[in-house]
Structure 1
Amino acid sequence: PRQNRHDTLLLFFACTAMWTCNGVYLITIPLYVVNALGLSEKLAGIMMGTAAGLEIPVMLIAGYVAKRVGKRVLMRIAVGAGLLFYVGLVLFNAEWALLGLQLLNAIFIGILAGIGMLYFQDLMPGQAGTATTLFTNTTRVGWIISGSLAGIVAQFWGYHAVFFISLLMSVGAGYCMWKIKDV
């Protein structure tokens, strides 16, 4: 980036951590629900489908309110929703709770997917293509990290521990988001 290098780097780390959390969740949740909690196989699919279905309206609403509240505020809301989501996964294991948490998951990922790239573009004026590529790379890097991380943590400490790691990464993403200036 020609401008806002420090903030762009912080945003890169925050988005990478957030996408890593999402990847870890998607890899682990079916195994956790079935093998660790002993719940129905259908529940994992319903959970993922519910979150995916809710993400679309979240993206649309986030795009609509972005000019009013700002992208930084929305990204902070996303991180906050992610923190609450992973706290919920760590603390609750009832079907109704897992389904209810999907609204927080949808807010977390819907805002990240819908606003994250725009925030990169704001931090990198005149470099829209580079900013878009940088955001896209956070997704790819997050998926690369999440595959190994989910496997290693689950193998040594169990599926539930994976959500503790995601919670810690969400805290790191939140720290980065609080350090980024508003543009």
Structure 2
Amino acid sequence: MSKTENSFVSGIKIVFTDRDFRTIFISLFIIGLSVGGFMPYLTVWATNTLHATSFQAGFLFVPMSIIGLVVSFYLASLSDKWGKRKPFIIWALLIGTISRMPLAFTHSYTIALVLLAIGGFNAFSFFFALLNDFIVKKQESKSQAGTITGTVRMAFSQGYIFGPMLGALIIDHGGYTLLFLLSGLLSLATLGWVLFALKEDSMPQTSVHGSSKAPAGIPSVLIAVFVAALFIFAGDSGRSMYLPLYITDTLKQSVSIVGFLFTVTSVFELVFMPLGGYFSDKIGVKRFFIIGIACQVLYFILTSLHLPLSGLIVLQVFYAFILSATMGVGMVYAQSLSPRQIGLATTAYMTAIQTSAVVSSLAMGSLVSVIPLPSTFYILAVFSVISGVMFLFMKQKSAEEMS
């Protein structure tokens, strides 16, 4: 059996033979389906339905990001203090449902801003903090933390495979109203599944990297993690916001092509996510993570070269490998830097995904009216370089100093 097959089979076997891992896997699959169904089309919806400019379309993510940053950090601190994740997951899913479904009926840019801001707090980081708690609880799983995390993260990718495809199909036949309604209903379905299937005891304040009672406050290493991750995900947010416009406006392709390209990435994530976790367990989490960031720099440089559609398709396969490092392995590394505050560590890394939209929308939005849209991807390459340098000089001893 090849290494790819071995890592995939091993990860799937571990996750699906364990009730706790399996429950989180299924939850993230439904979330991926919900988010993947509407997020790639948000900027296109804003320009076509709300008649927003390219800058305004990108700015939709800004209030959502700011609210998510403030609320998520506070609640993550509480979850570490209480040793509970499930109440915060339930709250986040409920808010997501309430904020998303009214989008189906609004034609006001201002109302859309408010609704998306309300939905800024999400359950993603709490699911992965809970995953870490479960890994700690099952001592035999500690040595396979990367493989387990990569496999569970793959669930979101699986949902994202079908989400963009279904989204394009729904838009063609039912419009954006039906799209947002179904996305909200999927969030509600996830809430029902969590209430029914997720069982959580009070978790020890520890991680796969260490153990001790969680201290108060946010350690400086997590502030550094947040800032560095902010630049990683500014690239990812910029891709999500402006690649659809690149495809529809610059290349004059249909909305269905947007769904196809995002689906290509998600399909190949099914291979690269568990494989990335497997190799990170073998060569080291930090080393694999830095390699992924270097590849992200290359991706944005190539994207900025005004490539035809065929070139963009190839790049989306490459991006799937990058996500295995930035979305999967990177989170494991962030947790290792603050082993006594897993909720905060996970939130510091994952909240940067949302907050990064502020950076990318302001940077790319201000440039898109001055230079060709593909050329704005150069700034995302610069962001990735900054992030790579910051993470390169973060020392593992930061976690040891806290013990």
TM-score (norm 1): 0.86
Q: Would you say the 8 A contact 1:56–1:110 is kept in 2?
A: no
- Offset at 1:110? 2.5
Moved over 6 A (4+): none
- The aligned counterpart of 1:139 is 353
For residue 46 of structure 1, report the CA deviation from its aligned partner: 1.7
Matching residue's letter, 2:250? A
SS of the aligned residue for 2:240 comes to helix
- Residue equivalent to 1:119: 333
Any unmatched runs of 5+ in structure 2? 1-213, 398-403
| Separation in 2, partners of 1:39, 1:93 | 13
Q: How many pairs does the alignment contain?
A: 181
Q: Which residue of 1 aligns with 2:145?
A: none
The 1:6–1:127 alpha-carbon spacing in structure 2 relative to 1, beyond 3 Å, is closer
Q: CA deviation at 1:86?
A: 0.8
Residue by residue over 1:130-157, the C-alpha shift from the partner in whole angstroms, topping out at 9 and shown as x without a partner, is 2112112211211232233332221232
Give, in whole Å, the separation in 2 of the partners of 1:58 and 1:95. 23
**1:28-177 map, 5 Å:** 28-177=242-391
TM-superposed CA distance for 1:39, in Å, is 4.2
Counterpart pick for 2:228 among 14, 30, 43: 14
**What are the superposed Cα offsets for residues 29-78 of structure 1, whole Å, 9 maximum, x if unpaired?**
12112322334544332211111222232221122222211111121121
Q: Does the CA-based 8 Å contact 2:228-2:390 persist in structure 1?
A: yes
Residue range with higher mean Cα deviation, 13-22 or 139-148: 139-148
Instruction: Decide whether the 8 Å contact of 2:364 with 2:379 is kept in 1.
Output: no
Cα distance, 1:108 vs structure 2: 1.7
Aligned to 2:91: none
What is the TM-score when the length of structure 2 is the normalising length?
0.42
In percent, how many aligned pairs have the same letter? 22
Choose 1 or 2 for highest CA Rg.
2
Cα distance in 1, alignment partners of residues 272 and 315 from structure 2: 15
Please list the CA deviations of residues 60-106 of structure 1 after superposition, one character each: whole Å capped at 9, or x if unmatched.
Answer: 11222222111111211210120111121122512221111112211
> How many Å separate the matches in 2 of 1:130 and 1:110?
22
**Residues 7/107 of structure 1: CA separation in 2 closer, same or farther (3 Å cut):** farther
Equivalent residue of 1:126, what SS? coil
Q: Secondary structure at the match of 1:157?
A: coil
Alpha-carbon contact 1:11-1:120 (below 8 Å) kept: yes
AA aligned to 1:82 is: Q
- Greater helix share, structure number: 1
1:27 aligned to which of 241, 266, 269: 241
Higher normalized contact order (CA 8 Å, seq sep 6+, divided by chain length): 1
29-38 or 7-16, larger mean C-alpha shift: 7-16
Q: Distance in 2 between matches of 1:14 and 1:47?
A: 27
Contact kept? 1:27, 1:150, Cα under 8 Å: no
Q: How many Å separate the matches in 1 of 2:290 and 2:243?
A: 24
Partner of 2:96: none
Q: Please give the alpha-carbon distance, in whole angstroms, between the structure 2 residues aligned to 1:92 and 1:74.
A: 29
Amino acid at match of 1:31: L
RMSD of aligned Cα (Å): 2.2
1-side partners of 2:270 and 2:327: how far apart?
Answer: 10
Q: Which stretch of structure 1 is more off in the superposition, 22-31 or 144-153?
A: 144-153
Does the 8 Å contact 2:222/2:345 carry over to 1? no
* Alpha-carbon separation, structure 2, partners of 1:19 and 1:56: 20
Mapped partners of 1:26, 1:136: distance in 2: 16
Cα shift at 1:24: 0.6
Specify the SS of the correspondent of 2:368: helix
The residue that corresponds to 2:95 in the other structure is none
